[in-house]
Structure 1
Amino acid sequence: MSKQKKPRKGQTKTLGDVTINDFANSSAPKHRPKKSSTSVTTIIKQLEDHETQTQSKSWDDQELDDYDYIKQENEDGEVIYVLKKVKKVNLNTTDVTESTIDTGKDYPVDIWFLISEYIKPEDIGTFARICRTSYSITNTGKFWFSLYKRYYKKTVELPRRLQPDCMFRLYGIRMLVIKSLYYTYPLFVNQLKVIKTEEHPDVLTKRMCTLMWHVKFKNHWVYYFKLKEMVYPPHLISNRDEKRVDLIELLEDVAANVEENCRVLQITCLSFIPVLSVQGLFLTSVGVTLSQGFRHNRVQLIFNTNLMHGKSTTEGTVCILLDPVINVRILDWWHPLYPHNYNLNLLVNQNLKEIEY
């Protein structure tokens, strides 16, 4: 076998034939480098690819993605660092998993009842919008009875129906307590005393006249027109047979209010003026002008039998002319001057008719 020559200085050793002696008598290597699945060149290549991708992305996309070194352990138990993409959650978008949403704490109902004892009347709406539990509490008779007792004053003269000995039924207790607050709660009472610009009667157009009457007050005659906003017109109601009325549930309805969506137009005249009945008709037009002599007003009300999409027809038109008029007011159901009927039998029958309607 030929003898191999040793390489000179500065000259690399060339590869030749590999013999058995090279394997058998080879010395054990020292300071052997550890195996790693990630080399420097690999990391540099990943960084270059990442830089190329981010340059082609928009700023919004770049904010969502972030790269970081993740500590991992390979099969040999060696710790390595791998460059991986980490997904960030954008709270401005709707793509948020349930695990990232803080569902909050669910407090017992008793705690919400204790908190409700300190809620002011003007903050009830805010309290009801906190959560479902707080909203359900505002629909209980206990909440409204407690509110009534908290602000009841013996020195204030209340109507008979709003006296404590009459406030024992659940039916419509919410409406009754709110009305009593306009007698006893200073903030609500002061709101009625503040002089403000009265609404123009034309805000009552497109409403149905459900009741009308007139009374004599001293030397004047007062005309009342009860106008109701028809939220669900009769010709749009379907599946009437599917509705079943439970009388027990109806009598326990705390939020029952047959005067909901109703307003009363009160017109005070100097003398009696005969008018036609307009019950069941829609108010389509209201005109307020100065009467002859410019001392009083002249009110013209036009009612119609039909009202489709806010447009009235010429057939079935009834015109009411009141002159001279000294005062025009619009009363909401919570106003102390609003005429109420507290007959339970009449209210229940009227509510049953509206449900079956």
Structure 2
Amino acid sequence: MPKGGRRGKGQKKATACSSGDVSLNDYANAVCCPSSNLRVKKGSANAIQAEVRLLTKPEGQQLKEELNWFEKDLDDFDIDPHGNNEQEDEEDVQDLSEGAVLSSGAAASLPVRPRRRKKHSSVSWDVEKKGRVYPVDLWYILSEYIYPEDIGRFAALCHDTYLIVCSCAFWRQLYLRNYDKKIKLPDEIKPQSIERIRGLRARVIRSMYYLYAPLSGRSVSMVPFENEPHSLQGQRCLLAWHQPVKNTWTFCFKFLKLQSTTFRPGPVESSGRDMLPGYSDLFYNPEEGCRIMEIQCQNFASIPMVMGMVLSHVCLTVSARMRHYRLRLLFDSILQQGNQSSAERIVDLDPVVNIRIVPWWDTKYPFTF
């Protein structure tokens, strides 16, 4: 076996580029230039350019470039931590346009030339901040002029407005701004109850449907069947009862929306001096997500036990006499697409005169907190 080792067929030994690779006949002013080939070969031109670059550089830089890449230190390479290589990329494009790209054969015979390291000026690139930051005092002054229906938009402006909406002073000021002595209020939303922190937000929201005219008009039902009972599908029945009203019977079902999200800025930590857990909880509201369906019927009907079950389907059709409506409620233990054959409990009410959905903030909501 030869000393140099075996080489595959067609492989050549890479040799360093030197001036001996170019003959005198390759120059333009050669005397014995062959007439058949007046153009310098591409490989020869690249070799000349590489040789000129090596000769025109300082001796110290030549020694660095003659070293292999694994013999160099990190200081010998051009490393830009900030990625600002636009000027170097333009130089590379210019070299490509001048025909300085080495061919595959010539690239193997030339040493690797690392990029020249340039000193970048230390420039602090600060992120341009859009908008202006106003003091909290300004937002607190503006909060005194916010309408009740615009509280959600005001809280979504910035972090400071959100913190103001989560304060007790904001809700007390909203209540006192709209309070009217001429309007009769329930005991739980009178001015004396506003001093208590627990559940302050829920009490103020409910008081706005008594004191604020645009909201108080929404709780007055104008026509029968104004609310859609199908909106309660998928909710759990917590309580059911009935009571006579004049010449009719009213059947009530209290529903709770499954996985209801409560507006809370974070966990409330109660101090050791609190009389009960959550005594200082501004967002306390046990009726959050609850609604009551009031069904007014002309006749009494026996209702099965449906408390704790989920309303899976609602069917509202015309009664047999074509004067009123017939309501059928299908209840199941779990939420599913119910039908008459698979439902565990069925409630039939006929004839139905009116159906009304009452949320927890309505003035006719029977429960307090």
User: TM-score by structure 2 length?
Assistant: 0.59
- Mapped contact 1:205–1:284 kept (Cα < 8 A): yes
Give the alignment's Cα RMSD to 1 decimal: 3.5
For residues 259-292 of structure 1, give each alpha carbon's deviation from its aligned partner in whole angstroms, at most 9, with x where no partner exists: 2221111101112222112110000111111112
SS of the counterpart of 1:250? coil
Given residue 280 of structure 1, which amino acid in structure 2 is its aligned partner? G
**Does structure 1 residue 127 correspond to structure 2 residue 131?**
no
Residue matched to 1:144 = 171
Residue matched to 1:332 = 359
Moved more, 193-202 or 330-339: 193-202
- Structure 1's unaligned 5+ residue stretches are 1-45, 54-96, 234-242, 343-357
* CA-CA distance at 1:220 after TM superposition: 1.5
**Does structure 1 residue 220 correspond to structure 2 residue 248?**
yes
- Mapped contact 1:172–1:254 kept (Cα < 8 A): yes
Q: Using the alignment, how far apart are the partners of 1:244 and 1:254 within structure 2?
A: 9
Q: Closer, same or farther in 2 for the Cα pair 1:200/1:98, shift >3 Å?
A: farther
- Mapped contact 1:301–1:320 kept (Cα < 8 A): yes
- Mapped contact 2:188–2:368 kept (Cα < 8 A): no
Residue matched to 1:317 = 344
- Mapped contact 2:331–2:345 kept (Cα < 8 A): yes
- Structure 2's unaligned 5+ residue stretches are 1-89, 98-123, 262-266
Identity, in percent, stands at 34
* CA-CA distance at 1:321 after TM superposition: 0.7
Q: Closer, same or farther in 2 for the Cα pair 1:325/1:316, shift >3 Å?
A: closer
Residue matched to 1:19 = none
* CA-CA distance at 1:232 after TM superposition: 7.1
Residue matched to 1:172 = 199
Q: Using the alignment, how far apart are the partners of 1:150 and 1:98 within structure 2?
A: 48
Q: Using the alignment, how far apart are the partners of 2:246 and 2:178 within structure 1?
A: 34
* CA-CA distance at 1:253 after TM superposition: 1.4
Aligned counterpart in structure 2 of residue 291 of structure 1, from 311, 316, 319: 319
* CA-CA distance at 1:311 after TM superposition: 4.0
Q: Using the alignment, how far apart are the partners of 2:194 and 2:239 within structure 1?
A: 27
Aligned counterpart in structure 1 of residue 332 of structure 2, from 279, 304, 307: 304
| Map 1:221-260 → 2, pairs under 5 A | 221-231=249-259, 246=270, 248=274, 250-260=278-288
| Map 1:56-75 → 2, pairs under 5 A | none
* CA-CA distance at 1:126 after TM superposition: 1.0
* CA-CA distance at 1:322 after TM superposition: 0.8
Aligned counterpart in structure 2 of residue 207 of structure 1, from 231, 235, 243: 235
Q: Closer, same or farther in 2 for the Cα pair 1:275/1:164, shift >3 Å?
A: same
Residue matched to 2:211 = 184
Q: Using the alignment, how far apart are the partners of 1:194 and 1:289 within structure 2?
A: 22
Aligned counterpart in structure 2 of residue 277 of structure 1, from 301, 305, 314: 305
SS of the counterpart of 2:301? coil
Q: Using the alignment, how far apart are the partners of 1:289 and 1:177 within structure 2?
A: 39
Q: Using the alignment, how far apart are the partners of 1:114 and 1:316 within structure 2?
A: 56
SS of the counterpart of 1:271? coil
Q: Using the alignment, how far apart are the partners of 2:250 and 2:125 within structure 1?
A: 62
| Map 1:73-112 → 2, pairs under 5 A | 99-102=126-129, 104-112=131-139
- Mapped contact 2:268–2:281 kept (Cα < 8 A): no
Given residue 277 of structure 1, which amino acid in structure 2 is its aligned partner? M
Given residue 122 of structure 1, which amino acid in structure 2 is its aligned partner? E
Q: Using the alignment, how far apart are the partners of 2:367 and 2:197 within structure 1?
A: 18
Given residue 238 of structure 2, which amino acid in structure 1 is its aligned partner? T
SS of the counterpart of 1:100? coil
* CA-CA distance at 1:191 after TM superposition: 3.2
